[in-house]
Amino acid sequence: MTDLELILQTIMNSLIASSFTAIFAVGLVLIFGIMQVVNFAHGALYMVGAFSTWYLYSELGLPFFVAIILATLLTAAVGLVMERALFRPMRGNLFGGLIVSVGMMFVLEVLSVYLFGQGLMKNITPYFKESWHVFGIESVTIAHSRLFVFAVATFILVAFWLFMSRTRLGWAMRACAQNPEAAALQGISIGKISMLAMVISAAMAGAGGAVMAPLVRITPQMGHSVLITAFIVMIVGGMGSIEGALIAAFAYSFFHTFVTTYVGGEIATILGLVLMLMVLIVKPTGIMGERESV
Amino acid sequence: MTSNISRRKFLAGTGGVAASLTALGATRSKVFAAEKTIKIGFLAALTGDAAGWGLPGLYGVEIWAEQINAAGGMDVGGEKYRVEVISYDDEFDAIKATVGAKKLLFEDEVSIVLMLGITPVQAVKDFMTRNKMLTTTLVPTDISADAPYLFAPVEVHPFYNVTAVDWIGRNMPNVKTAAIATQNDELGLSSQATYRAAFEVAGIEVIEENLFGFEVTDFAPVVSKLIAANPDVITWDTAYPDYVNLLTEQAYLQGYKGQFVNCTLDQYSHILAKTSVEFLEGFLWQFPDLDDPIMQGGGTHFDNAAAFYQTYEERYPGAWTAVSWEYAAALEMWKTAVGNAGSFDPPTAAEALRNLSPVPHAFGDAEWWGESFFGINSAALGKWPVVQMQNGKAVIVEMGDVRAWMDKHGDVLIKHFEALGVPTSA
């Protein structure tokens, strides 16, 4: 492999990583923007999506695509329950919402151990086993399973953008995020919008877990490192800014993948955090965050 | 009042009752003898990153105990003892290991503690020594002169890794370059030093190395860089089982065509399913399936190895890993030692274990070794198999002589240990 081919391969790896990071982080930002909840259970929802896919596809033998759809719906349902039972009573209580989300994270992780046991990761025999040689170059490849992740993530992000920009519900969600009191005065139900936001956010995490399941370690704690990445993206992008999260997801993933390839995985994580600190020093509100006036 | 019971009848009756009670008493005392219990402590990771080298070992120990109990128990000092296994999950964490060790010693009063190694062992080493508890580790770098009750009776990790590289050096003259990737921890680094030494001795140049952290979720960039260096052979060193699984799959998906040599290839049926029989053909590693013909007698010391493997596979299909048999193998050796000592008393058993010569290791006769590296001869060093994937099945291609390699090239090994900052007493 030549230097140029390695760069091309790294760009491809970065694109796939970016797409997944984007849908995961956007879901996290959505909840913070609308409900003012730092949802620590977002990684656990990703885990629910992965475990569900493994169980439905590998254990019950359902078709792969059916398993992915059911896993996404199941995770969305968990999100719905979380909103009604945990976050709604804590509305307006930033610290309370954070604490119950941490509790929910542990509940979901312990539940997965209780239901599916512990030990080595769950294995999914991949639905896609082949790779695409990028532009016909023999040494530059992307596995079809990773292309599938890219396609699903792109589809979800485009659908989400259309929903937010072209539908009344999307406008209502944006209104709630910008000024909940004003939105309520206009007749928008904050409760319904919060519920919808939580379902969409959980579905994004679940779909991410479902499509990533054949590619990663399926363990009860699998959401931890992904959640840390999403927090970095959320802070760099600007708390509550979906556009910022998208930009930060791509910037961070490209940066992390290139450093992992050319320097090393450990250094990449350290430099990723340094990058976050530098952004915060230069622009404390993040890339797209807005300064709040008192 | 008159009685219709005659004196003869009375004597016969009481005699009968007495005889019955005596017989019952004898029976009860026999039952009690058979129900004497000896407790074995198992303290390793059952969850978390290292669970792959803990939980499958516990399964093996439980099967071993079942087989012992089914055969009437352990015969020590003329009495039969039922074996009971008590386990705690240390999560590969120092604090949890300390709590588990205290429970095993003070509450459960076990006679031996089986551990995985590294951080948890280092955390409890002084405590075990103070309490004279016989403890085993799978990692010989744990042993030291100040811990006389700590043994590495089964694994000489990472030293046995030299045997597969040595085999490559003799059988694959076209292999000239190597790449190494593993997690950056004590396990990975000590193994990296060993592979560096083995490659140097075999005349293979290491052209790429990548150490990654535990937070890595996407191995594509790691593998891309390794493949870009065009190595003839790749090793994942002693990466954790899940990492080997995902790294190997990535290499397959990115079109790697070269040779692999690795410490482990745990649960390889899953990796075969993710890649292909053709892709894994020729993969070299260090841990056999115990149904291998070479493991059935012929100088090896693991009773009923094939039956053990078959029971394991039936009960836990596809769960076989490097450690599935290892903790049980340590118990096999301990059984011999306590049999010789006639006592389960841990210091006495430790003394008997140290006096075994040759050491009846699962892979053949071994000797206690380690003074040159760790200041004490508490690691069983002898033969270790080179295992190769052939048509989707693990096959022992050679029993490598670790001791001979160490005697000849120990200085090279020490050089690389020091270069990476891995402690030795040499």
CB contact under 8 A, B273 and A16: no
Residue to test with chain B: of A3, A12, A121, A138, most B Cβ within 10 A: A121
For position B424, what pLDDT does the model report?
67
In 10 A of CB A147, how many CB atoms? 16
Single-letter residue type at A87: F
For position B141, what pLDDT does the model report?
85
Q: What is the dihedral of CA A239, A245, A248, A252, to 10 degrees?
A: 100
Measured between CA atoms, the residue of chain A closest to residue B218 is: A216
Which residues of chain B lie closer than 8 angstroms to A273, CB-CB? none
Domain B37-156+299-381, CATH:
3.40.50.2300
For position B127, what pLDDT does the model report?
97
Measured between CA atoms, the residue of chain B closest to residue A138 is: B255
Residue to test with chain B: of A120, A137, A252, most B Cβ within 10 A: A120
Number of domains in chain A: 1
User: For the sheet containing B379-381, what is the strand order?
Assistant: B359-361, B364-369, B379-381
Contacts of B1 (CB under 8 A, 6+ apart): none
In 10 A of CB B276, how many CB atoms? 12
CA distance B152 to B132: 16
For position B241, what pLDDT does the model report?
87
Rounded to a whole number of angstroms, the distance from the CA of A20 to the nearest CA of chain B is: 11
For position A139, what pLDDT does the model report?
85
Q: Where are the domains of chain B?
A: 37-156+299-381, 161-293+385-419
Q: Is residue A233 in a domain?
A: no
CA angle A147, B233, B392 (to 5 degrees): 70
Measured between CA atoms, the residue of chain A closest to residue B223 is: A261
For position B3, what pLDDT does the model report?
42
CA distance B28 to B394: 49
CB contact under 8 A, B217 and A226: yes
Give helix B186-202 / helix B402-419 axis angle, nearest 10°.
120
CATH top-level class of B161-293+385-419:
alpha beta
For position A135, what pLDDT does the model report?
84
Tens-place pLDDT, residues B147-190: 999 999 999 889 999 999 999 999 999 999 999 999 988 889 99
A257 touches chain B (CB under 8 A): yes
- In three-state form (DSSP H/G/I as H, E/B as E, the rest C), the secondary structure along chain B is CCCCCCHHHHHHHHHHHHHHHHHHHHHHHHHHHHCCEEEEEEEECCCCHHHHHCHHHHHHHHHHHHHHHHCCCEEECCEEEEEEEEEEECCCCHHHHHHHHHHHHHHCCCCEEEECCCHHHHHHHHHHHHCCCCEECCCHHHCCCCCCCEEECCCCCCCCHHHHHHHHHHHCCCCCEEEEEEECCHHHHHHHHHHHHHHHHHCCEEEEEEEECCCCCCCHHHHHHHHHCCCCEEECCCCCHHHHHHHHHHHHHCCCCCEEECCCCCCHHHHHHHCCHHHHCCCEECCCCCCCHHHCCCCCCCCCHHHHHHHHHHHCCCCCCCCCCHHHHHHHHHHHHHHHHCCCCHHHHHHHHHCCCCEEECCEEEEEECHHHHCCCCEEECEEEEEEEECCEEEEEEEEEHHHHHHHHHHHHHHHHHHCCCCCCC
> Looking at the partner chain, which of B46, B242, B245 has a beta carbon nearest the beta carbon of A118?
B46
Interface residues on B facing A, Cβ-Cβ cutoff 8 A: 46-48, 51-52, 55-56, 184, 210-218, 220-222, 224-225, 227-228, 230, 241-242, 245-246, 249, 253-255, 266-267, 270, 273-276, 319, 321
State the DSSP code for A141. E
Question: Which residues in chain B land under pLDDT 70?
Answer: 1-34, 424-426
Single-letter residue type at A98: L
For position B145, what pLDDT does the model report?
94
For position B213, what pLDDT does the model report?
83
> Looking at the partner chain, which of A131, A216, A258 has a beta carbon nearest the beta carbon of B255?
A131
A132 touches chain B (CB under 8 A): no
Contacts of A8 (CB under 8 A, 6+ apart): A134, A135, A137, A140
Domain that holds residue A109: 8-220
Q: Is residue A285 in a domain?
A: no
Over the Cα atoms of chain B, what is R_g? 25
A119 touches chain B (CB under 8 A): yes
User: Tens-of-pLDDT digits for all 294 residues of chain A?
Assistant: 788 899 999 999 999 999 999 999 999 999 998 888 899 999 999 999 999 999 999 999 999 999 999 999 999 999 999 999 999 998 888 889 999 999 999 999 999 988 987 777 888 888 888 888 888 888 899 999 999 999 999 999 999 999 999 999 999 998 988 888 888 888 899 999 999 999 999 999 999 999 999 999 898 989 998 999 999 999 999 888 888 999 999 999 999 999 999 988 788 888 988 988 998 899 888 888 776 554
For position B356, what pLDDT does the model report?
95
Measured between CA atoms, the residue of chain B closest to residue A226 is: B217
